[in-house]
Structure 1
Amino acid sequence: MSAILPVVLCGGSGTRLWPLSRKTLPKQFAPLLGDKSLLQLTLERLRLLGPDVMCVAAEEHRFLVQEVTQAAGVGGSQVLEPCARNTAAAMAAAALLAKPDQLLLFAPADHHIPEPEKLAATIRKGVPAAESGCFVTFGVVPTFPSSGYGYIRQGEVLEGEAGRQGANRVEAFLEKPSAERAAEMILAGGHLWNAGIFLVRAQVLIDELAQHAPDILDSCRRATARPMHDGDFIRVDRAAFEGCRSQSIDYAVLEKSGRVAVVPFEGAWSDVGSWNAVADLHPCDEQSNRISGNGFTIAAANTFIHAPTRPVVALGTQDLLIVDTPDALLVAHRDNAEQVKDAVSLLTTRGRSQATHHRRVPRPWGAYDSVDDGERFAVKRLTVKAGAKLALRMHHHRAEHWVVVQGTAQVLRDGETTLVHENQSIYISPGTVYQLSNPGKTTVEIIEVQTGGYLGDDDIVRFEEGQETGTPDDETLQRRIA
């Protein structure tokens, strides 16, 4: 059997799971089930097919993906998209960067499939059809007449080994139906939920794009003609990729192709598309309440609480969704779960940063959490990963006071290096050229207090690589590095 290379599509920045999911931390990266994200769970189940995975992700999320792949114990590469151009472009880029005969399994990063062995067995059943030149999709056997999913209508059984493994030709792709039409399709049989998981040879995908979406293929050819490799990261040409038309693979290819086959998946599956869907992933008590984290209910019924940090108590509530985060709280009736995006729009129009940004901001070196701020001060909690360092920098208008609460930090100030141990502090005055690094093997945690008349991020002057030691000259001091 041919080796399969999973390709995880990590794009997307939906707002339906706000306030946990935001532009800077889409739902695939958010810890929705215990302390694991949907992306980590996806990578762990795909690990059953092989040790390496290719991820296609936004440039701004590259270190989030890298962190999750390490936690999931998988290797492989990461194709960085300079902008979002939907699944057709993402899949085209992956196919063009792969060997022509490579079997590629394209999978969303944000679905929940709790039976990984069953999924792996189903995918292997699709290999004969993919090897014969088919574009194989995997349809979920419906458990109820959902109007929230697209459907696949099965056609005739394929000939040979592909048919013996359960593969049928796809007769039609159907849009999300009305509740009445969904019930009719379930009763008629032969209809599957479209899970958006595909198995196809790289060259077959390229040939299908050439026939049905040649403009998308042409843009992606130019974008991947001279890829830049930076460790596990693969960067494509920005201008060529930005010029690509944005369209899903379903509309661009699958609905037009005569080479599409489907293999049924008889297992639990959810696209986790709303807070109601998230709630359904948790066990319920006798009153149908569902709890994630530090939630408590008293005389409540059919209430879901997501409370990862502080205690949240629902008293006498019914049919509510309560989602707590450090800087925003959502309370919604279950019937209004699909309108969460309207709340995001409202906050955006009011200029509230919580619409798109979390308090905790990931960085290549770790993360910072904005704990508090006022007119002339800001308090942050910094976490610096083992072996990591921040860029050499300087501030014109603010001072920084650091207290190390865990680990040992190495601080370079105007050419002099100091080790700051746990329970020790250090002061960075305005105009000081400095760099913070973690020389140890454990995470360093620092409480940072900023003071001054101006605390904006544009007061940070970063310097070029190679300027980690010593004091830069006057010309270098004037150079801003993005």
Structure 2
Amino acid sequence: MQPILVPVILCGGAGTRLWPESRVTHPKPFIPLPDGESLIQKTFRRASQLPGVSEVLTVTTDDLLFKTEDAYATTDDAVACNHGYILEPFGRNTAASFAAAALDVASRYGPDAHILILAADHLITDESTFARAVEQATNLAAQQKLTVFGIVPEHPETGYGYIQAAAGPGDQLSVQQFVEKPDAATAQAYVDSGNYYWNSGMFCSRADLALAELKAHAPELLQSVSRALESGIQSQGKGHCSTRLCPEAFAQVPDISIDYALMEKTACLAGVKADIGWSDIGSWEAMGQLTPADDRGNRFDGEVLSTGASNNYVRSHDRLTALVGVEDLLVIDTADALLIAHKSQAQGVKDIVAQLKRSGHGARLQHRTVHRPWGSHTVLEEHERFKVRRIVIKPGTSLTLQMHHHRSEHWVVLQGMARITNEDQITLLGVNESTFIPAGHKHKLENPGVIDLIMVEVQSGDYLGEDDITRYE
């Protein structure tokens, strides 16, 4: 009998090497690739299409739940596969996520169920070979093996960890050790040797073996995660279930990766050689490879003009970009930040993000367009005493009843229908109609229609900070 297989997608992190597209509130899995689909959408579709899969479990944070649901809802397979969520109150690295998933799957599907750990931000282009590798990994997992996927290296790479392994029968690997990210010379030696593989971070295991090995090698972590799961809040929706882990219990969970906590210690390892067109899209150089090159080696994503330029990658979706006589550059243009880097320094982007963090700059956290469960808002113009925003509200959703002490708001409807509560008065506004919300007034904004409500909001006052808000719901 075929064992139950539950793919588990781990979705978190900030993706600092893909700044300025990637932000804390909009990490790498949600960045659209040149074909328009994001990495998390590709991962969900790929997982849901595996034979026998009826549920995909996603471990993410509370803050990213609505973005994840939106991403899944736009895939063709969303209605064919149930969604399960484990929601962490804050990040605690991959060992905690793995433990929570193993506990959840064992309790709902039984100890002999298999879990397939997948990262939300990896690209796999050969999906048929991936499916065969999963089948082999499941067979090994049934033999009480923690099975890792070793990626056949295409070139020396200093940004990946490696697995040293001897080839076994078929595509099986006898794993000898995990190796940290090497320098360039060591990476070249690994590739030349033929028995080193990129560590994909994907693996497969029976739930009971995963829990037994965690109990043996990381008992404190397993106990803390178990308490957070048992004290969590469960909810059931149409086609999905979710568990919000208890914040107080989860705060006691050690911050450690699954490699350090378990994979480097267990004696139950096996491996599968996976030549599946894998990439973690860990730099803008890697992202650029997804766009076809012109006759001078340039790769352009967006409206770009060039003369005398060669071997550049430009991503510019908001405005025209022009290159003159430059070469080997990465140019990433967003609405509020511009990155220009030499291709050889692509990994240095994370140092810029570290500077932004030290200075408290908002460009590390979010874009001008900020997504919320009810829709999004975009800053169009901002000064000391006024701010102009475009607000998009999804059908059937609303903002909370709230009040601001220091600012007034003027709303103009551009599309759809708005139901507005202003103190004790409720009004409906259509296209080209407007209303004024004085400072100190309780107000609420709803979309009762079936299409997106789009509005322009003008804030004015002596203080426009987002913390000037009192919520009544």
Give the structure-1-normalised TM-score: 0.91
Shift of 1:435: 1.0
Q: Which residue of structure 1 lines up, in the alignment, with residue 210 of structure 2?
A: 205
Give 3-state SS (helix, strand or coil) of 1:273's partner: coil
**1:146-176: CA deviation from partner (whole Å, max 9, x where unpaired):** 233222222363xxxxx56x32331222222
Give 3-state SS (helix, strand or coil) of 1:261's partner: strand
Alpha-carbon distance in structure 2 between the residues aligned to 1:188 and 1:349: 42
Shift of 1:105: 0.7
Shift of 1:434: 1.6
Give 3-state SS (helix, strand or coil) of 1:185's partner: helix
Q: Which residue of structure 1 lines up, in the alignment, with residue 441 of structure 2?
A: 432
Alpha-carbon distance in structure 2 between the residues aligned to 1:348 and 1:191: 36
Is 1:180 the counterpart of 2:189? The answer is no
Q: Which residue of structure 1 lines up, in the alignment, with residue 349 of structure 2?
A: 340
Q: Which residue of structure 1 lines up, in the alignment, with residue 257 of structure 2?
A: 248
Alpha-carbon distance in structure 1 between the residues aligned to 2:187 and 2:408: 62
Give 3-state SS (helix, strand or coil) of 1:20's partner: coil
Is 1:81 the counterpart of 2:88? The answer is yes
Letter in 1 for 2:29: Q
Shift of 1:355: 2.6
**Percent of aligned pairs sharing the same letter:** 40
Is 1:398 the counterpart of 2:399? The answer is no
Alpha-carbon distance in structure 1 between the residues aligned to 2:11 and 2:446: 30
Structure 1, unpaired ranges of 5+: 158-162, 465-482
Alpha-carbon distance in structure 2 between the residues aligned to 1:135 and 1:238: 29
CA contact (8 A) 2:229 2:243 kept: no
Which aligned pairs between 1:12-31 and structure 2 lie closer than 5 A? 12-31=13-32
Alpha-carbon distance in structure 2 between the residues aligned to 1:113 and 1:79: 24
Q: Which residue of structure 2 lines up, in the alignment, with residue 43 of structure 1?
A: 44
Alpha-carbon distance in structure 2 between the residues aligned to 1:409 and 1:201: 51
Give the alignment partner of residue 468 of structure 2, picking from 455, 459, 464.
459
Alpha-carbon distance in structure 2 between the residues aligned to 1:228 and 1:345: 35
Structure 2, unpaired ranges of 5+: none
Give the aligned CA root-mean-square deviation in angstroms: 1.7
Is 1:327 the counterpart of 2:336? The answer is yes
CA contact (8 A) 1:45 1:117 kept: no
Is 1:261 the counterpart of 2:270? The answer is yes
Give 3-state SS (helix, strand or coil) of 1:42's partner: helix
CA contact (8 A) 1:395 1:459 kept: yes
Shift of 1:51: 4.6
Q: Which residue of structure 2 lines up, in the alignment, with residue 60 of structure 1?
A: 63
Q: Could you say if the C-alpha distance between residues 242 and 33 of structure 1 is closer, same or farther in structure 2, counting changes exceeding 3 Å?
A: farther
Alpha-carbon distance in structure 2 between the residues aligned to 1:427 and 1:311: 36
CA contact (8 A) 1:46 1:120 kept: no
Give the alignment partner of residue 147 of structure 1, picking from 158, 175, 178.
158
Q: Which residue of structure 1 lines up, in the alignment, with residue 228 of structure 2?
A: 223
> How many residues get paired?
458
**1:81-120: CA deviation from partner (whole Å, max 9, x where unpaired):** 1121111111001111112222111111111112222212
Runs of 4+ in structure 1 deviating by more than 4 angstroms, as ranges, are: none
Letter in 2 for 1:29: F
CA contact (8 A) 1:69 1:75 kept: no
Alpha-carbon distance in structure 2 between the residues aligned to 1:350 and 1:150: 31
Shift of 1:267: 2.1
Give 3-state SS (helix, strand or coil) of 1:98's partner: helix
Give 3-state SS (helix, strand or coil) of 1:32's partner: coil
Alpha-carbon distance in structure 2 between the residues aligned to 1:392 and 1:237: 27
Give the alignment partner of residue 120 of structure 1, picking from 131, 145, 170.
131
Q: Could you say if the C-alpha distance between residues 346 and 191 of structure 1 is closer, same or farther in structure 2, counting changes exceeding 3 Å?
A: closer
Letter in 1 for 2:46: R
Letter in 1 for 2:182: P
CA contact (8 A) 1:371 1:381 kept: yes
Q: Which residue of structure 2 lines up, in the alignment, with residue 93 of structure 1?
A: 100
Letter in 2 for 1:78: Y
**1:228-262: CA deviation from partner (whole Å, max 9, x where unpaired):** 11343311111221111111111111111111111
Q: Could you say if the C-alpha distance between residues 181 and 127 of structure 1 is closer, same or farther in structure 2, counting changes exceeding 3 Å?
A: same
Shift of 1:349: 3.7
Give the structure-2-normalised TM-score: 0.93
Q: Could you say if the C-alpha distance between residues 42 and 296 of structure 1 is closer, same or farther in structure 2, counting changes exceeding 3 Å?
A: farther
Is 1:3 the counterpart of 2:4? The answer is yes
